[in-house]
Structure 1
Amino acid sequence: MRTFRTALLTAAAAGLALTALAPAPAAAAPAPAPVPPKFLSAGQLPASLTPWTAGPVRQGAPQEGSVCTAGIAPAAGTRHRDFRTELDTGARQTITVATTTARARKLAADLRTALETCLDRMKEQDPGLEGEAFHHGRIDVEEGAYLYSIDTSYPEVGSTDIGLYSVGRDGRAVTVVEWGQMGELDGAPLEGFRKTTRTAVAKLY
């Protein structure tokens, strides 16, 4: 019995020694952080008489401007970037990464509705405002993009402004691109903005 017990203790000690010598399993590597969607560069905006300058990418939804779509996109998961020229022309791109594809699809639909009803809402708030709004069709890129224009004027003071807008989606990422300057739709770079929108959506991922 003593011999049997000694053999067991010896075997157990040997097993512990082997366990101690065995390399510890490597810790699981942390999952890589998801790559954020990419923004437009200044050179990808519609051609202008003076060069575009790109501002920094900022976290959250824009705090001012973006009159038509304000309050639609959540602050969480949203970033934006402003662009400007030396003339009275500006642009903005906003990107929101939704938590699910279904929520991204709904966000894109809500943004489109906000753009389609924007002029009527602006007129309700300012009865002296006149204007026209147009939907310029769908752009076939990723899950699709939609192009709009809103032409506004104040006849009493003779001022006119034109804004071009688009909403596009790639998976969970939704982007809004805005462009505006003084003038009318006839003088706006509609085809250039269409190209910019296509680039913006294709560039997300």
Structure 2
Amino acid sequence: MRTFRTALLTAAAAGLAVTALTPTPAAAAPAPAPVLPKFLAAGELPASLTPWTAGPVRQGVPQEGSLCTAGIAPAAGARYRDFRTELDTQARQTITVATTTARAEKLAADLRAALETCLDRLKEQDPGLEGEAFHHGGIDIEEGAHLYSIDTSHPEAGSTDIGLYSVGRDGRAVTVVEWGQMGELDGAPLEGFRKTTRTAVAKLY
């Protein structure tokens, strides 16, 4: 009996030794977080008489403003950032990362179409509105960017507003940059906005 018991203890000890020597599978390394496109900094917007202030980066699409492009970009995969100065000049950048390059191409095309038809749609909503819209050409950066301006006035109210817009793409990332203030196109920093757009697309990835 003592011999049998000794044999069991010896076998148990051997089993523990084998278990201790058997390497345990290493835990799978966590997948690296996806690289998110970078936003413009306040100092990268067109020069202004007072400094720009950058708001926080927010998830989704803006609930207000962006009249020309509202409802085009999906909330999923979208983020935006607002900018302002002390002189009521405002700007906004929205970045959307599409699930595929093909969807990003379509989104960029849809956003451009929305900007090209924006003034007509605004006039339909407000028959007293007057204005002009221009396409200021493209920028050779990554998959390309395009610039637009929409100059509006309301004679009854005596107000004039100018907005500059751009759409650019780098791979699956599409960005829209908006800039606006009271005034006319002659007083808008079109070349500065062109430089801002180039920087915005270059910073995506």
Q: What is the TM-score when the length of structure 1 is the normalising length?
A: 0.91
Q: Give the C-alpha shift of residue 56 in structure 1.
A: 0.6
Q: Give the C-alpha shift of residue 23 in structure 1.
A: 1.6
For 1:188 and 1:204, the matched residues in 2 are separated by: 25
Q: Give the C-alpha shift of residue 28 in structure 1.
A: 1.5
Q: How many residues in Structure 1 have an aligned counterpart in Structure 2?
A: 205
Q: Give the C-alpha shift of residue 152 in structure 1.
A: 0.3
Q: Give the C-alpha shift of residue 12 in structure 1.
A: 13
Question: Secondary structure at 1:7's aligned position in 2?
Answer: helix
Q: Which residue of 2 aligns with 1:204?
A: 204
* Structure 1: runs of 5 or more not aligned: none
Deviations 1:140-199 (A, max 9, x none): 111111100000001222211000000001111110000000000000000000000000
Question: Secondary structure at 2:141's aligned position in 1?
Answer: coil
Pair 8,77 (structure 1): closer, same or farther in 2 beyond 3 Å: same
Pair 12,104 (structure 1): closer, same or farther in 2 beyond 3 Å: farther
Deviations 1:113-157 (A, max 9, x none): 000000000011111001000000110111111100000001222
Deviations 1:79-121 (A, max 9, x none): 1100000002100000111111111111111000000000000
Pair 21,112 (structure 1): closer, same or farther in 2 beyond 3 Å: same
Of the structure 1 ranges 151-160 and 124-133, higher mean CA displacement relative to structure 2 is found in: 151-160
For 2:4 and 2:196, the matched residues in 1 are separated by: 83
Q: Give the C-alpha shift of residue 9 in structure 1.
A: 15
Structure 1 stretches of 4+ with a deviation exceeding 3 A read: 1-20
For 1:106 and 1:122, the matched residues in 2 are separated by: 23
Deviations 1:45-82 (A, max 9, x none): 00000000001111110000000000101111111100
Of the structure 1 ranges 145-154 and 16-25, higher mean CA displacement relative to structure 2 is found in: 16-25
% identical equivalent positions:
91
Question: Secondary structure at 2:57's aligned position in 1?
Answer: strand
For 2:144 and 2:3, the matched residues in 1 are separated by: 80
Q: Give the C-alpha shift of residue 3 in structure 1.
A: 17
Pair 139,4 (structure 1): closer, same or farther in 2 beyond 3 Å: farther
* Structure 2: runs of 5 or more not aligned: none
Q: Which residue of 2 aligns with 1:165?
A: 165
For 2:196 and 2:9, the matched residues in 1 are separated by: 77
Pair 5,112 (structure 1): closer, same or farther in 2 beyond 3 Å: farther
Pair 197,16 (structure 1): closer, same or farther in 2 beyond 3 Å: same
Q: Give the C-alpha shift of residue 16 in structure 1.
A: 8.5
For 1:156 and 1:194, the matched residues in 2 are separated by: 32
For 2:172 and 2:134, the matched residues in 1 are separated by: 27
For 1:101 and 1:12, the matched residues in 2 are separated by: 60
Q: Give the C-alpha shift of residue 25 in structure 1.
A: 2.5
For 2:7 and 2:142, the matched residues in 1 are separated by: 70
Of the structure 1 ranges 68-77 and 1-10, higher mean CA displacement relative to structure 2 is found in: 1-10
For 1:53 and 1:30, the matched residues in 2 are separated by: 37
